[in-house]
Structures are given as structure tokens and as C-alpha cells.
Amino acid sequence: MHRLITLSFSHYNEKARWALDRFSVPYDEEPYVPLFCSIAVAVATRGRGGTADRTSSRYSTPVLLMDDGRVLTDSTDIMRFAVGSDDSLFLSEEVESLVDHYGDRLGPYTRVLAYWHALRHPGMIEQLAEDNVSRRQAWLFRRLMPLARTNLKRFLNLTEASRDRAMVRVREEFDAAGARLDQNEYLCGDHFTAADLTFAALASPVLCTTPEEGYGAVLPSRDALDTEGRELVEEMRAHPAGQFALRMYAQERRRVLRGG
């Protein structure tokens, strides 16, 4: 069985899970919280990790450890593997470049906004750990959080200026996706593609997409957010591109429920 090492609530990880679930690729998910996920990747890849890029380190998740020994360390590579010879998700160069574009231009900024809000609320990130990983790991994370908080803020460069910049970028991406959707039912025409999957997954942190709506992990509950956080989520959910992302979840995200 393939093993998928995840930062459980992360949107890039959700993109990989969605693709694997959609194409019925069996895998065991090993869900982690921040910091622990990088250690898990370092251990699983014997220190090698993957390739760092503009948005992540060598030890970023998701990582798929395949049962034949191969290791995939990028969500788009995992999506391509899941798709296999079925090319229905990658129909054109336009789809491929949109997948890359959202990976570079949407995912990093929805992540900044999500952490900005999660770390402002006392106890919220610890609650996320409790909702998504084993009790033991959540317990340890809670103990380490007072130290980890500052590192996480520095690693993600969480400042008011970066929050404002992220807000501008996310609105730009939502508006641009909305303009595409004026012409078509999906981002690249009249079929569901990898661009739609990527947009919907990477938009999730600002939509607080729930497991009931199809998200493959637990994000903060909207009720737990303060006014600024709630206004952000309401704005993004009401936006045509936000509505579209939620519709993609309703129509296209087949969850695989695993026992145990």
C-alpha cells in the first residue's frame, strides 16, 4: 500500500488526497501537524527530502512513498501519478499552466491568511491538531507550541504587511477565476480538469471548507473566528469563484472513508 505523509489540514496535501481518491488509488495517510510533518518527511526519505521551490522547503508535504520504492514529493507529481494514463484531468497546456499558476500564486497566499488567523486565536492551532492527528501527537504539539509559534510566524513571514499583500493576491486570483467562469462552467471550458481541482483545494483555507462539504481534513470552524476572520470567509464564500470552489467539492470530490 502507498503511504501518504501529510500536513493533515494543508491545502496542497488536500490536492493530492483529492486526486488519489478520485482515481481510487489506495493509500494510507499518515497525518501530521506543522514541524512534525517535516521530521516525518526527513525520516521517510532518509534525510534527502524533495526539491525546495519558491513556496516550500525540501521537507514539505505531501510525500507519497510508493509501494515499489519510488517517492513523489510534490502535489502535482502525485496528481499526475493518480491520473495515470487517463488524461481527462490534464487536457491542455492551459490546464497545466493554471495548475502551476495556482500553486505559485494562490496557495502561498491563502496559507498566509489561514495561519495569520489561526495564530491570532489562542488555542486554535492546537485545536486543529486535536481534530486532525493522533492524541499523542496533538498532546506533544500543544507542549511545543509556545516555542513553535514564533518559528512558524517567522518561517511564514506573518506580518500585517504580508497579510495585506496576501489579501490583494487572493482577491486578484478569485476575480481572475470569476472572469473565466463568466464564459464557461469550469475554469478551462466545459470539463472538470486539474485546474479546477487545484483551484478548489488551494482556495479552501479562506473558505474554511468543511468535511461535510468534502474537505479531507478539519479546518477551523467559522464560528471560532473573530469578526475579521469571519468577514474574510464570508466574502470569499460569496464570491463567484468561492461558490465555484464549493460547487467543485459538492460535485467532484469523492471522499473515501477509511476504517480505523
Ligand X SMILES: N[C@@H](CCC(=O)N[C@@H](CS)C(=O)NCC(=O)O)C(=O)O
Q: What is the C-alpha to C-alpha distance for residues 129 and 107, in angstroms, rounded to an integer? A: 21
Rule CB under 6 A: is residue 57 a binding residue for ligand X? Answer: yes
Contacts (CB under 6 A) with ligand X, residues 92-111: 103, 111
CA distance to 52, 122, 222, 245, per residue, from 119 (Å): 25, 7, 15, 25
Q: Residue 32 interacts with ligand X (CB under 6 A)?
A: no
> Which range of residues in 70-78, 123-131, 194-202, 222-230 is near ligand X by CB under 6 A?
70-78
For residue 72, state whether it binds ligand X (rule: CB under 6 A): no
Q: Is there binding between residue 17 and ligand X (CB under 6 A)?
A: no
Q: By CB under 6 A, which span of 49-57, 79-87, 127-135, 210-218 interacts with ligand X?
A: 49-57
Tell me which stretch binds ligand X (CB under 6 A): 24-32, 57-65, 175-183, 215-223. 57-65
Query: Going by DSSP bridges, is the β-strand pair 2-7/27-32 parallel, antiparallel, or unpaired?
Result: parallel
Which residue in the block uniquely carries the three cell numbers 505523509?
5
Number of residues that bind ligand X (CB under 6 A): 18
Query: Could you tell me the three cell numbers for 58?
Result: 525540501
CA 234 to CA 236: how far, in whole Å? 6
Q: Does residue 74 bind ligand X (CB under 6 A)?
A: yes
Distance CA 37, CA 43 (A): 10
| Maximum CA extent, the chain | 51
- What distance lies between CA 29 and its chain's CA centroid? 15
Q: Which one of 4, 7, 236, 245 is in contact with ligand X (CB under 6 A)? A: 7
Q: Where along the sequence are the contacts to ligand X (CB under 6 A)?
A: 7, 10, 12, 37-38, 53, 55-57, 59-62, 74-76, 103, 111
